[in-house]
Amino acid sequence: EVKLVESGGALVQSGGSLRLSCIVSGFTLSSYEMSWVRQSPGKGLEWIAYINSGGETTFYADSVKGRFTVSRDNARRSLYLQMNSLRVEDTAVYYCARVGFAVAGTFDLWGQGTLVPVSS
Amino acid sequence: EILMTQSPGTLSVSPGERATLSCRASQSISINLAWYQQKPGQPPRLLIYRASTRATGVPARFSGSGSGTDFTLSINGLQSEDFAVYYCQQYSNWPPYTFGQGTKVEIK
């Protein structure tokens, strides 16, 4: 079965750090670009990070630049999001998402998400 | 950054009727637009890409149109499983990828 499974979400205090993981199955991770997208409670979708297939190129939304780092380990079939200096406004469900192979830029596969509440 | 604006915020439709959702980009994005469906407690699901191409497994009652700055998602003969929130997303000029704020399709 083709799927993404996120983990690592937990309640964290403002200023704290957390590392999210996303393990993939059913496809070869090294063939795909990946992203993280988040959704604040009751709100819309916000793209926050991108990493190319080899891990050499990353991009970030301004809202997380300098605080979050995306990385990957293709051998372990895993994607990561290191989140530092967390703020209350980072409270959200965090999804890992596969960038479409045929149509780069679309997100054709999503995990179920992991919740990160940030308390003040 | 390209701003994506969806309208209306909420659309009330009776089962079996047609729903028409709009998405407008702040500058031309050609046909580099995708639509997603999200049901409560679930992740988004890709419905449409390249403005009008249905993703694998998406029923033919879903159709997309438009180019440049104005786009439409139509759902013909709404079924119970179609009541959800729909988001548009541009991938023409990134980073960042940007989403609209969503349109909720609810039962009338």
pLDDT band at A104 (very low <50, low <70, confident <90, very high): confident
Q: State the Cα–Cα distance between residues B2 and B17, nearest whole angstrom.
A: 32
The answer, for B102 touching chain A at a CB cutoff of 8 Å, is yes
The answer, for A106 touching chain B at a CB cutoff of 8 Å, is yes
pLDDT at B20: 98
User: And the tokens for B64?
Assistant: 């997309």
Residues of chain A contacting residue B46, judged by C-beta atoms under 8 Å apart: 100, 106-108
Taken as a whole, chain A contains a residue count of 120
Give the closest of B43, B49, B98 to A106, CB-based. Answer: B49
Q: State the Cα–Cα distance between residues A105 and A37, nearest whole angstrom.
A: 13
pLDDT at A102: 76
Scanning every residue of chain B, which has its alpha carbon at the shortest distance from the alpha carbon of A96? B43
Longest dimension (CA), chain A: 43
3-state DSSP of chain B? CCCEEEECCEEEECCCCCEEEEEEECCCCCCCEEEEEECCCCCCEEEEECCCEECCCCCCCEEEEEECCEEEEEECCCCHHHCCEEEEEECCCCCCCEECCCEEEEEC
Q: Are A114 and A104 in contact (CB under 8 A)?
A: no
Question: Is the pLDDT score of A91 beyond 90?
Answer: yes
Question: Is the pLDDT score of B9 beyond 90?
Answer: yes
Percentage of the residues of chain B whose pLDDT score is greater than 70 = 100
What is the sign, positive or negative, of the torsion defined by CA atoms of B107, A110, A51, A9?
positive
Candidates B46, B48, B86, B104, partner chain A, best to mutate (most A CBs within 10 A): B46
Q: State the Cα–Cα distance between residues B86 and B103, nearest whole angstrom.
A: 5
Of B36, B19, B20, which is closest to residue B71 (Cα–Cα)? B20
Tens digit of each residue's pLDDT (9 = 90 or more) over A12-52: 999 999 999 999 999 999 999 999 999 999 899 999 999 99
Tens digit of each residue's pLDDT (9 = 90 or more) over A50-81: 999 999 999 999 999 999 999 999 999 999 99
Percentage of the residues of chain B whose pLDDT score is greater than 90 = 99
Tens digit of each residue's pLDDT (9 = 90 or more) over B30-74: 999 999 999 999 999 999 999 999 999 999 999 999 999 999 999
> Are B91 and A104 an interchain contact pair (Cβ–Cβ within 8 Å)?
yes
